[in-house]
């Protein structure tokens, strides 16, 4: 029997080609999942909403007139957070009895205000209607709650819908999947461009080995088909999915700002930030009037040190006086060396020259008279007499002393330093000069005050101020309230306003010039809503905002119009109503949630 070697070679090459094409086809089946094209008018109908279970797990939040209760399920464990309705504070030592169907169980307190229980029904999917009985001290209530546990869905991956799982019998999956599934999973992660290059290169190499020019071309065609089939398919015109609902996403345990501007803040985070709430109530408050003012020194305890003439400032050997230094009356606080103009210096030099000349002439005359007084002349009685009388000598001596005093005084006034002294005891409030500075006559060198003697100067326009002097207070920038006493008012208008003067009732050190708000209270009462000042924050728009608690874990920003009553309270003009629950502590933390 003879064999044709050329026929055997052709058969072998054809078999290898078929095997190579089969391998490429197998790769295409692994990578490309089956596609279905929708025709015109294709309608999926009403699609069921998809539920995404958050990391925090299923939860419920209910409240009554006494309590707030939040439950969070995690597997078989149910964690409960119990707070008071009116102030959001955790409740310790409470008895929580939960009934779910036929199962009844009492929760155990694991931390202050936090309770937990473990039951099989917590992990079961479905809707669980709960009856919660709460007893805390003298308060007791019965609350109905509903815990919804979604079903766990297994989502198939891309290579789980491979062709062998669709077209081959299920009995063969156990043998084929261990081999083809890893290959399909690996190739599904490869980019289309890399896939094209790999398939084309494999076809080129195989074509060269098998000496067939058509094989690389067919490999390129297969690679292009693989790339085109693996691209997403978009629906054509008329394709309708019906009424599809947006997936519901639960928030879990992460604080976040919701789309409507409200904030979801889980109970564990509220405990960390110490969030506390209060209920708005009406109260009767005196009618008030507000005036703008500032602090000034008491005129009776204020003095200034001024330059008495033009000169250069100097300081005593003790050094430059500093602000806040205590001085006594008569203390030398500075020196003033007079400074003269050229004309004044010329006139002063001329006066000094004339005085010096006259002084020299007088001294010479006095010397001659004193010398002549020693000569004795015999008189009629035979007694020796002086040629010059004693009165003439004394007259010249007096004249000489006067000229000397005038010269010394002129020199001292013109060129000698002058002492500047404190006119009263107190504390140096301002120092307006430095060493060597030239000042003019009347310039204020420094100001001395008593820091504990402070007045308040307020401005009132005609028709604004009334006789609300029974109870007056000053609101300082740090929200400190200081009682003040009305003293007097100006008799004339300054810039179309009159000035009111008040005195601080207590001796307190308040910086002079501090802006204050004078609050004058009348005898009439008015009903108003008062809230703590710390509950009011600035929103993103710059307006005043109060956070209102709408649910145990939901807070809504409410824009308000308010004015301060004192350092701790604000009066609400608009934005809140009675019985609204607002955040009294921790509002600034809520304002930072994004």
Claim to verify: residue 14 and residue 159 sit in the same structural domain:
yes
Clarify whether residues 427 and 400 are in a common domain.
yes
What's the length of the chain? 594
Instruction: Let me know whether 138 and 160 are in one domain.
Output: no
Same domain, 215 and 304: no
**Residues 6+ positions from 50 with CB-CB distance below 8 Å:** 245, 247, 248
Is residue 480 situated within a structural domain?
no
Is residue 506 assigned to a domain?
no
Tell me: do 145 and 159 sit in the same domain: no
Residue 552 inside a domain? The answer is: yes
Asked if residue 313 and residue 427 are part of one domain, the reply reads yes
In angstroms, the CA 400 to CA 358 distance is 9
β-strands 454-460, 498-504 pairing: antiparallel
| Domain at 405, CATH number | 2.40.50.100
Angle at 493 between CA 488 and CA 496, to 5 degrees: 130
CA distances from 469 to 34, 423, 527, 548, 558 (A): 89, 35, 21, 37, 36
Q: Tell me whether residue 255 is in a domain.
A: no
Question: pLDDT tens track of the chain, all 594 residues?
Answer: 444 556 666 656 665 655 555 555 555 555 444 444 444 444 444 444 333 334 457 889 999 999 999 999 998 999 999 999 999 999 999 999 999 988 999 999 999 999 999 999 998 989 999 999 999 988 999 999 999 998 765 444 444 445 556 666 766 766 777 766 776 666 666 555 565 566 556 655 655 555 555 555 555 555 555 544 444 444 444 445 554 444 434 446 788 888 888 999 999 999 999 999 999 888 877 777 788 889 888 888 888 898 888 888 888 887 778 888 888 888 888 888 888 777 777 777 788 888 888 888 888 888 888 777 776 665 566 555 666 677 788 888 888 888 888 888 877 665 668 888 888 888 888 888 888 888 888 899 899 988 888 899 988 887 776 665 668 888 887 767 888 888 888 888 888 888 889 988 887 778 888 888 888 877 777 788 888 888 898 888 888 999 999 999 999 999 988 877 776 788 888 888 888 899 999 888 888 888
Quick check: is 235 in a domain? no
The token duo for 6 is 């050329």
Tokens of 490: 């100006």
Number of domains the chain is built from:
4
Domain membership of residue 205 as a residue range:
5-33+155-229
Same domain (yes/no): 314, 440: yes
Residues 355 and 434 placed together within one structural domain of the fold = yes
Q: Which two tokens stand for residue 427?
A: 């504390």
CATH of the domain at 97: 2.60.40.10
């Amino acid at each position: 029997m003879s064999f044709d070697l050329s026929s055997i070679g052709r058969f072998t090459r054809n078999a290898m080609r078929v095997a190579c094409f089969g391998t490429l086809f197998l790769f295409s089946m692994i990578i490309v999942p089956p596609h279905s094209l929708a025709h015109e008018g294709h309608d999926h109908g009403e699609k069921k909403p998809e539920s995404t279970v958050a990391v925090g797990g299923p939860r419920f939040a209910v409240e009554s007139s006494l309590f707030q209760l939040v439950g969070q399920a995690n597997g078989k464990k149910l964690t409960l957070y119990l707070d008071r309705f009116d102030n959001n504070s955790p409740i310790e030592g409470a008895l929580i009895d939960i009934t779910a169907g036929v199962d009844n169980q009492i929760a155990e307190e694991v931390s202050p205000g936090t309770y937990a229980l473990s039951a099989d029904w917590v992990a079961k999917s479905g809707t669980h209607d709960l009856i919660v009985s709460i007893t805390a001290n003298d308060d007791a209530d019965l609350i109905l709650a509903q815990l919804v546990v979604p079903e766990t869905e297994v989502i198939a991956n891309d290579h789980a819908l491979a062709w062998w799982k669709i077209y081959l019998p299920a009995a063969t999956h156990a043998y084929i999947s261990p081999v083809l599934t890893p290959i399909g999973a690996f190739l599904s992660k490869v980019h289309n461009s890399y896939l094209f290059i790999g398939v084309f290169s494999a076809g080129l190499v195989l074509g060269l080995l098998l000496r067939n020019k058509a094989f690389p071309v067919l490999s390129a065609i297969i690679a292009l088909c693989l790339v085109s089939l693996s691209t997403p398919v978009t629906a054509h015109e008329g394709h309708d999915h019906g009424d599809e609902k947006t997936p519901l996403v639960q928030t879990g345990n992460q604080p976040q700002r919701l789309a409507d501007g409200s904030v979801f803040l889980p109970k564990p985070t509220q405990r960390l930030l110490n969030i506390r709430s209060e209920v708005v109530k009406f109260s009767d408050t005196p009618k008030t009037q507000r005036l703008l003012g500032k602090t000034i020194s008491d005129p009776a305890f204020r003095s200034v040190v001024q330059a008495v003439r033009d000169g250069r400032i100097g300081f005593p050997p003790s050094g430059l006086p500093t602000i806040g230094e205590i001085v006594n009356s008569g203390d030398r606080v500075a020196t003033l060396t007079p400074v003269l103009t050229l004309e004044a210096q010329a006139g002063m030099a001329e006066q000094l020259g004339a005085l010096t000349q006259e002084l020299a002439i007088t001294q010479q005359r006095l010397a001659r008279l004193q010398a002549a007084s020693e000569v004795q002349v015999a008189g009629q009685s035979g007694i020796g007499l002086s040629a010059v009388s004693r009165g003439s000598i004394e007259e010249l001596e007096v004249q000489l002393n006067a000229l000397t005093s005038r010269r010394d005084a002129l020199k001292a006034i013109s060129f000698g330093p002058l002492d500047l002294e404190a006119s009263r005891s107190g504390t140096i409030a301002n120092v307006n000069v430095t060493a060597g500075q030239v000042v003019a006559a009347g310039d204020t060198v420094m100001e001395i005050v008593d820091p504990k003697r402070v007045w308040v100067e307020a401005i009132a326009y005609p028709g604004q101020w009334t006789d609300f002097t029974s109870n007056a207070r000053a609101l300082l920038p740090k929200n400190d309230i200081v009682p003040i006493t009305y003293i007097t008012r100006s008799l004339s208008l300054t810039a179309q306003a009159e000035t009111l003067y008040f005195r601080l009732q207590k001796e307190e050190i308040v910086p002079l010039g501090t802006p204050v708000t004078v609050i004058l209270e009348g005898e009439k009462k008015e009903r108003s809503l008062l809230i703590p000042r710390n509950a009011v924050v600035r929103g993103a728009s710059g307006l005043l905002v109060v956070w209102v608690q709408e649910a145990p874990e939901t807070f809504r920003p409410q824009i308000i119009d308010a004015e301060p009553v004192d350092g701790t309270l604000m009066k609400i003009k608009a934005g809140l109503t009675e019985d609204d629950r607002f955040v009294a502590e921790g509002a600034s933390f809520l304002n930072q949630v994004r």
